Amino acid sequence: MADETNDFHLSCPVPITQYPHVVMAHGGGGRLMNQLIDRMFVAAFGNPALEERHDGARLDPEGRQLAFSTDSYVVRPLFFPGSDIGAMAVNGTVNDLAMCGARPRWLSAGFIIEEGLPMETLWRVVQSMREAAAAAGVQIVTGDTKVVDKGKGDGLYINTAGVGVIETGFLIRPASVRPGDAVLLSGDVGRHGMAIMSVREGLDFESPITSDCAPLAAMVLDLLGAGIEVRCLRDLTRGGLAAALNEIATVARVQIDIEEAAVPVTDPVRGACEILGLDPFYVANEGRLVAFVPAEQARQALTVMQRHDPGRNACRIGVVKTEFPERVTLRSRIGASRILDLLSGEQLPRIC
Amino acid sequence: MADETNDFHLSCPVPITQYPHVVMAHGGGGRLMNQLIDRMFVAAFGNPALEERHDGARLDPEGRQLAFSTDSYVVRPLFFPGSDIGAMAVNGTVNDLAMCGARPRWLSAGFIIEEGLPMETLWRVVQSMREAAAAAGVQIVTGDTKVVDKGKGDGLYINTAGVGVIETGFLIRPASVRPGDAVLLSGDVGRHGMAIMSVREGLDFESPITSDCAPLAAMVLDLLGAGIEVRCLRDLTRGGLAAALNEIATVARVQIDIEEAAVPVTDPVRGACEILGLDPFYVANEGRLVAFVPAEQARQALTVMQRHDPGRNACRIGVVKTEFPERVTLRSRIGASRILDLLSGEQLPRIC
């Protein structure tokens, strides 16, 4: 997200008189590509690894085990209330690493740019990535730039891969989930997807819905630092809460039983979902997670999560059971129980 | 490259009766995406890290320093003589890691698939990646799948990022290049770009030109194992030999003086370049490198390189000088010298 008070917000560092838009040659391995890399990417992300202009970066994990993850970002539109593709590309991979119990350290960035993208647009995205990286404490140490023909892209796709240092002896993964574990949720669900939807469809809600896009690593590291025996973590991106819980229930071969009323959904998100016939449990988030922890540590874990901005409204939403393995069950206010299944696809495409 | 004798070459593991083409839901975080990941990607790349189906993979670098690199592949067409986008996506990142003096170990794979891509095409690419990974000794341990709307992609883009373990105490990088160093080239140049060009433009040369796409890590590790004090390595992808040498000359602030006649170019490539008005020194390769080594070790280094298939025709092509810093000079057969400059873009777009 652009912070207009930041000194770095100068005008676009690539001369835009001659090339106001990205041309094929910006991905061609010649002078124009070198100029773009030096003046824009290295200038924005600057660190010794990147400045060496070598084929790869050197990392020193100091003998620790690592987590490694990747995600491509194809969100449409590139900018939306509360965030943009650049911040998402950093936070998304930061969060994937955090879900492994790792401190995110190093990112790669691969840009696939459609010929004709305004250079100023690219610059806004790069600045947003720079700020998100600084906020999450990661360095963008290596990258790649490709330009594809006009009409053969959608403005900009970004891939990030990340390496983080694992800071726990616990194996944080679906297979570690145990019957009786408490299911904690870090906050309200459905905001990212509905923020995208509102822009894309030109919907005008009374209260604008903003994306929840945020880095979750500090909260996770704080949980581990507090001695919480975290069994599994999952951020609630594509497919939302329902997909995350179903994947964990399947791999761990357990039942996950959720109390429907315990899952926070803001009024604007609930209203927008009702109008559009969507279920907020299936809508993507970019700054929310579920944590599976031993029941006796649930209260302490919530206190830790609530100290962090993206965990301010953290709450306990359910419990791990054994009666219906590989099923996610939803208990309603009046005690009825139904299955929260996976959809075959998604309600909203291209939201991440 | 597909090896038709390989037992793994079964029919497409995703049922194609119902979905013969990729649909948006294959990237939607629901049942169809899970099916695609499980039956195609995990089945093909299968390893414990991937099978855990977690947000990231766990790596154990055993206390070593690492190299980290990324590349996106947007080559058009997806299949061409001698290779395809899948083998390129593996070998390209393997080679970038090797250029850092690292043994490539772990790859991520990010797929951006255009809605409508035939499922069989995706399967051919995945099999090719699997074989290339096995040949290069790397594991594909984490990945991501996105589907973009029909018309908003070009069939398939692939990003790979890689982590390798650095196996040398030398700092292999442009800044380590010294005056007097010998410049070695691992083989003939221009084949990859001209192979792509011949398919794309429907050109029918007498002898078909095949891509030189190949993994270079074994050759590099053998050089280091033989005690060659490798100063810098660079693979000759976008912009070809000319771009690689110019980038090194600029960063190292040296002159690189090349003997034009010493650079091998096959007759078919030379002929095709002449017809099309292209210069083979600027054409991309996917299995060629330049190595800068101390002059006194040049002969030994060539012997090591020639033991490896992609280095069979390795030769000495020039020397590092100081007279014209940041310049690449080309000496012709009759002794005239000219500057081998960077182009502003590239001669052929979308060749990698």
Collect all residues of chain A within an 8 Å Cβ-Cβ radius of residue B193.
Answer: none
Q: Look up tokens 């959608």; give the residue.
A: A154
Of B59, B69, B70, the CB nearest to A65: B59
Indicate the pLDDT class of residue A264, thresholds 50, 70 and 90: very high
- Tell me which H or E stretch contains A31: helix A31-36
Q: What angle do CA B9, B12, B14 make, to 5 degrees?
A: 145
B4: exposed, middle or buried (Cβ count in 10 Å: 0-12, 13-18, 19+): exposed
Give, as one character, the DSSP assignment of residue A118: B
The residue-averaged pLDDT of A253-270 equals: 96
Concatenating the DSSP letter of every residue in A241-270 gives HHHHHHHHHHHHT-EEEEEGGGS---HHHH
Which of A66, A42, A130, A91 lies closest to A352 in space, CA to CA? A91
Contacts with B217 (C-beta within 8 Å, 6 or more apart), sequence order: B94, B95, B97, B98, B102, B103, B104, B136, B137, B164
Is-contact A284 A212, C-beta < 8 A? no
Probe site for chain B from A23, A60, A72 (most B CB atoms < 10 A)? A72
Question: Which H/E stretch holds residue A276?
Answer: helix A267-276
At residue B268, what is the residue type? Answer: P
Number of neighbours of residue B20 by Cβ within 10 angstroms = 14
To 10 degrees, what angle do helices B267-276 and B191-200 make?
Answer: 50
- Distance, in Å, from the CA atom of A146 to the CA atom of B261, rounded to the nearest integer, reads 32
Query: How high is the mean pLDDT in each 10-residue block of chain B (352 residues)?
Result: 46 84 90 90 87 83 91 96 97 96 96 96 96 96 95 95 93 94 98 92 80 98 97 95 95 97 96 91 97 98 98 98 97 92 80 87
pLDDT at A6 over 60: no
Contacts of B57 in chain A (CB under 8 A): 67-69
Q: What single DSSP character describes residue A16? A: T
Residues of A in contact with B251 (CB under 8 A): 52-53
Which residues from chain A sit within 8 angstroms of residue B248, using beta carbons?
none
Query: By the 8 A CB rule, do A113 and A27 touch?
Result: yes
- How much of chain A, in percent, has pLDDT values that exceed 70? 97
Q: Measure the CA–CA gap between B306 and B100, rounded to whole angstroms.
A: 20
Fold of B174-339: Phosphoribosyl-aminoimidazole Synthetase; Chain A, domain 2 (3.90.650)
- When pLDDT is cut at 50, 70 and 90, the band that residue A7 belongs to is very low
Strand A327-331 and strand B289-293: pairing?
unpaired
pLDDT of residue B9: 53
Is the distance from CB of A160 to CB of A92 less than 8 angstroms?
A: yes
Q: CA-CA distances (angstroms) from residue A16 to A12, A38, A72?
A: 8, 15, 28
Using the beta-carbon criterion (under 8 Å), do A58 and B166 form an inter-chain contact?
Answer: yes
Q: Does the structure show a pLDDT above 90 at A351?
A: no
pLDDT for the residue numbered B3: 41
**Are residues B161 and A157, on separate chains, in Cβ contact within 8 Å?**
no
Question: According to DSSP H, which parts of chain B are helical?
Answer: 31-36, 43-45, 48-51, 85-98, 119-136, 191-200, 217-225, 240-252, 267-276, 298-306
Question: Which residue has 């310049």 as its token pair?
Answer: B327
Gap between the Cα atoms of A288 and A311, Å rounded: 8
Instruction: Give contacts of A142 with chain B, Cβ < 8 Å.
Output: 68-70
Whether ipTM exceeds 0.90: yes
Beta-bridge partner residues of A338: A330
* Contact between chains at B144 and A74 (C-beta distance less than 8 A): no
Q: Which residues on B lie below 8 Å from A148 (Cβ)?
A: 74, 154, 157, 350
Test the B interface: residue of A22, A42, A47, A54 with most B CBs within 10 Å: A54
Looking at the predicted structure, is the pLDDT value of residue A1 above 50? no
Distance CA(B333)–CA(B322), nearest Å, equals 22
* pLDDT of residue A206 exceeding 80: no
In this predicted structure, what is the pLDDT of residue B18? 85
* Cα(A173)–Cα(B1) distance, integer angstroms: 34
Each domain of chain A, given as residue ranges in start order, spans 56-167, 174-339
Q: Is the dihedral of CA A290, A291, A297, A301 positive or negative?
A: negative
Hey, how many other C-beta atoms are within 10 angstroms of the C-beta on A62?
A: 9
CA closest to A109 among chain B residues: B70
The answer to whether the Cβ–Cβ distance between A30 and B343 falls below 8 Å is: yes
Q: A262 φ, ψ to 5°? A: -80, -15
Cβ neighbours of A149 in B, within 8 Å: 154, 349-350
Q: At what angle do helices A119-136 and A85-98 cross, to 10 degrees?
A: 30
Task: Write out the two tokens for A237.
Answer: 């991106």
Angstrom distance (rounded) from CA B98 to CA B168: 11
Q: Are B56 and A33 inside 8 Å of each other by CB?
A: no
Nearest CB neighbour to B72, from listed A71, A112, A162: A112
What CA–CA distance (Å, rounded) separates A80 from A82?
6
Give the whole-angstrom CA distance, residue A88 versus residue A136. Answer: 12
Terminal-residue alpha carbon distance, chain B: 15
- The size of the A-B interface in CB pairs under 8 A is 286
A98 vs chain B: nearest CA distance in angstroms?
Answer: 9
Q: Contact at 8 Å (CB) between A22 and A117?
A: yes
Say what the pTM is: 0.94
Q: What CATH superfamily is the domain B56-167?
A: PurM-like, N-terminal domain (3.30.1330.10)
Per residue in A279-310, pLDDT (tens digit) is 999 999 999 999 999 999 999 999 999 999 99
Give the mean pLDDT of A203-215: 87
Per-residue model confidence (pLDDT) at position B10: 63
Q: Distances in Å between the alpha carbon of A341 and those of A345, B30, B39?
A: 12, 9, 20
Report residue B58 as tokens: 């766990």
Which of B57, B173, B234 is closest, CB to CB, to A68?
A: B57
The mean pLDDT value of chain B amounts to 92
Whether the upstream peptide bond of residue B264 has omega within 30° of 0, thus cis, is no
- d(CA B20, CA B114) in angstroms, rounded, equals 14
C-beta atoms of A235 and B55 within 8 A: yes
Q: Which residues contact B183 (CB under 8 A, 6 or more apart)?
A: B245, B256, B258, B290, B291, B292, B316, B317, B318, B319, B320
Query: CA–CA separation, A143 vs A133, rounded Å?
Result: 14
